[in-house]
Amino acid sequence: MPGWRRGLGRFARDRAAALGVTLLVVLIVLAIFAPILAPYPGDVSDFHTANRLHAPDAANWLGTDRMGSDLLSRIVFGARITITIAFVAVGSAVVVGVPIGLLAGYYGGWPSNLLMRVSDIFLAVPQIVLAIAIAQTLGPSIENVILALSVTYWPFWARLVFAETRSLKNEVFIESAIALGASPWRVMVLHVLPNIASAIIVRTSIGMGGTILTAAALGFLGLGAPAPTPEWGRMIAESREFLPEAWWYATAPGVAIFVVVMGFNLVGDGLRDFLDPRIRRGASGNGAGGT
């Protein structure tokens, strides 16, 4: 499709999106090659109490924490946790929610409506409220955080896909596909899904950012993995008692979170402009060259 090429060009020229992609690439590289890139890979669990709370210097670029561990290394390893949480939580929510929404939207009827009402209840309260309850019940661990996040996130996708499927079902091209004898499976996968794919992709990227913030909040509250796991939210919580002297201790993980979430948000925005030309910025609506 020729439109794709032009859109891709636009995406490439979109500096904000390019920045976002760069940030994400850095994040993924850090996560994958953490053992190689971190200056003190052992500091994930080792501690050197003699070295505690040192300001940033040549040996420790970001300083050390309360156990004397190198902050930079811990943050690099924390990237692994962040990515894991983001991808698994959002991924599972999408994998569960999208098919549910498709089926509910396609078949309709009272089971679908009931399902959607249940989703509405989940969506009536912000994700973190229920996530706190779930995480606290299950106990502090990364797996439980992921579980809490995905359980509270799938209704969003189910609702979104349900609404889109239902409105698409009234479109002529779907009606004709059904009239021609296409099986429901075929209609859903080959006709409906491609049409809603761009909306899903855009929201996935932005959803990753939001999930990371929520996960960090859970970590901050102590509901994430226990020490000494280098989870960024937990590190910020640990740093609180050492302010204002050990400013580096609180700054580093906070900046890391900020940079990563920014990356996902920028990419999401860029994808939206790229995939949905209807809402292109800069289009003047009062008729450039009317009749």
Q: Return residues touching other proteins (CB under 8 A).
A: 16, 117-118, 120-122, 124-126, 128-130, 132-134, 136-138, 209, 213, 216-217, 220-223, 233, 236, 240, 243-244, 247, 250, 254, 257-258, 261-262, 265-266, 269, 282, 284-291
Q: How far is the CB of 238 from other proteins (least distance, A)?
A: 12
Which residue lies nearer to other proteins by CB, 201 or 262? Answer: 262
Which residue lies nearer to other proteins by CB, 40 or 162? Answer: 162
User: CB of 215 within 8 A of CB of 149?
Assistant: yes
Q: Where are the alpha helices (DSSP H) in 221-277?
A: 232-239, 247-275
- For 133, the token pair is 């309850």
Task: Please report the DSSP string for the chain in residue order.
Answer: -HHHHHHHHHHHH-HHHHHHHHHHHHHHHHHHTHHHHSS-GGGGT---GGGTTPPS-SS-TT-B-TTS-BHHHHHHHHHHHHHHHHHHHHHHHHHHHHHHHHHHHHH-HHHHHHHHHHHHHHHHS-HHHHHHHHHHHH-S-HHHHHHHHHHTTHHHHHHHHHHHHHHHHTSHHHHHHHHTT--HHHIIIIIIHHHHHHHHHHHHHHHHHHHHHHHHHHHHTT-SPPTTS--HHHHHHHHGGGTTTTHHHHHHHHHHHHHHHHHHHHHHHHHHHHH-GGG-TT---S-SS--
Which residue lies nearer to other proteins by CB, 106 or 273? Answer: 273
Which residue lies nearer to other proteins by CB, 187 or 267? Answer: 267
Which residue lies nearer to other proteins by CB, 89 or 236? Answer: 236
Q: How far is the CB of 259 from other proteins (least distance, A)?
A: 8
Which residue lies nearer to other proteins by CB, 17 or 188? Answer: 17
Residue 211 three-state SS: helix
Q: How far is the CB of 221 from other proteins (least distance, A)?
A: 6
Q: How far is the CB of 130 from other proteins (least distance, A)?
A: 7
Q: How far is the CB of 72 from other proteins (least distance, A)?
A: 18
Which residue lies nearer to other proteins by CB, 187 or 273? Answer: 273
Q: How far is the CB of 117 from other proteins (least distance, A)?
A: 7
Per DSSP, 57 falls in state: -
Q: How far is the CB of 246 from other proteins (least distance, A)?
A: 11
